[in-house]
Structure 1
Amino acid sequence: MIRTFGLPEIQFILEGAKWTILMSLAAFIFGGALGLLVALARTSAIRPLRVAAACYIQIFQGTPLLVQLFAVYFGLPLLGVNVELWLAVVTGLALHASGFLGEIWRGSIEAVPRGQTEAARALGLGYFARIRDVVLPQALRISLPATVGFMVNLVKGTAVAALLGLTEMTRSAQLMSNITFEPLKVYASVGLFYFIICLPLTLCSARLEKRLNAQG
């Protein structure tokens, strides 16, 4: 039975939007934590760590996100690790995010003037204290625009999960389009919802960047 695109269909898509937001947040949190480790390894004085981190970044920047999700979802069971679809997608997105955020933050760390690090070393600060108190606060200010830009792309990238059958916002739109036969209305609504999700990120980034620059 063909249905008319209306409020119930919009509510179904909004239910998918909830999963889009949750996936994006989880992927950014876990991917950010791993990405920070990658960035620190990439800027380490230990050559094997730098090489390993560089290879890691190239793998995730040089392969499509869909291939990475397939590798996690279908690859882990081959290793005897069975994971639910949602967890597999979040894991794949987090690994993908760590590769990009690691490189973004690597560039930001290296952009901090060397004099800052040398002054901290002269004051007797250890490595972790220098990173925590001197380098990372300045690197955060430098990396903010690129980080938020990647966050926006990560939100949009969750749409790839629809190809694995996860009912996030894009998959919800596909189902509603098949039921209503009104793809223009359905996908126009989805595009609007993605815009509504991403716009606050950009606005918050601009405000936070302005505040950090004022403090600097």
Structure 2
Amino acid sequence: MSAELLKTSLSILLQGLLTTLLLSAAAIVGGTLIGLVAAILRTFGPWGTSRVAKLYTELFRGTPVLITLMFIYFGVSYFGYAIDVFAAGAIGLSVYQGAYISEVFRSGIEAVPKGQWEVSQILGLTKTQTFFSVVLPQTGKIVLPPLIGQYLSLIKDTSIVSMIGMSELMHGGQAIVDRVGQPVEIYGLVAVLYFVVCFPLSQWVRHHDRRSLPS
């Protein structure tokens, strides 16, 4: 690969990386909120909402993320509405990853000792106060490593959004390969950029897991 091609390719790929990071941030926020709400409904909600939350998690965990993206992007257009490709990608990834994140939160909520609820009731706290003041902070500490792992999966899933025409990192790499060839070198650069983003997070998870092991 020539120096000029490397310079041009890096410029395009870095623009795509910025889009990937923005899309990842939007989907992480959306997926976390959706997942938390679904976990609360499934754990504490009335029978009807609990069943809906369970159906949601099973439906999206049992289908490919590409189907979700296609359904949102083309489904909205089918009903006569226009949706920006970035919005479609962010919504699709949020809804899809929210199903997995909800299971992470649900496991964390159930891992909090039931005695915490009993002590809180003795102290006069309502169920809502107990959940947000006692249970949720402990849940956050429990679920943080698997949650970061799920975020890593989400970041890598952004590459699939190129299938609906979004100019993120993977799409930028495909465009360069289509124009100049050299797929090994270009996709190698794409892989390096994904690695630069994901490796620090994966190392943090490993470090946290090692610290959590009993000495």
Same fold, TM-score > 0.5, yes or no: yes
Q: SS at the partner of 2:5?
A: coil
**Match of residue 123 from structure 1:** 123
Deviates more, 1:128-137 or 1:4-13: 4-13
Q: Which consecutive unaligned segments of at least 5 residues does structure 2 have?
A: none
Describe the shift of the 1:47–1:171 C-alpha distance in structure 2 as closer, same or farther (beyond 3 A): same
- How many Å separate the matches in 2 of 1:200 and 1:128? 36
Describe the shift of the 1:126–1:208 C-alpha distance in structure 2 as closer, same or farther (beyond 3 A): farther
Letter in 1 for 2:168: E
- How many Å separate the matches in 1 of 2:77 and 2:127? 40
- Does residue 36 of the first structure (1) align with residue 36 of the second (2)? yes
In 2, are the aligned partners of 1:5 and 1:185 still within 8 Å (CA)? no
Aligned residue runs from structure 1 range 92-131, under 5 A: 92-131=92-131
- Does residue 16 of the first structure (1) align with residue 16 of the second (2)? yes
Q: Which consecutive unaligned segments of at least 5 residues does structure 1 have?
A: none
- Does residue 176 of the first structure (1) align with residue 154 of the second (2)? no
In 1, are the aligned partners of 2:145 and 2:208 still within 8 Å (CA)? no
Describe the shift of the 1:193–1:24 C-alpha distance in structure 2 as closer, same or farther (beyond 3 A): same
Paired-residue identity, %: 31
Q: How many residues align?
A: 211
**Match of residue 50 from structure 1:** 50
In 1, are the aligned partners of 2:152 and 2:201 still within 8 Å (CA)? yes
Give 1:34 deviation, angstroms. 1.4
Describe the shift of the 1:59–1:206 C-alpha distance in structure 2 as closer, same or farther (beyond 3 A): same
Deviates more, 1:93-102 or 1:122-131: 122-131
Aligned residue runs from structure 1 range 1-216, under 5 A: 5-44=5-44, 46-205=46-205
Q: SS at the partner of 2:82?
A: coil
Give 1:17 deviation, angstroms. 0.4
- How many Å separate the matches in 1 of 2:53 and 2:120? 25
Q: SS at the partner of 1:167?
A: coil
- How many Å separate the matches in 2 of 1:105 and 1:170? 30
- How many Å separate the matches in 2 of 1:208 and 1:121? 32
- How many Å separate the matches in 1 of 2:205 and 2:29? 17
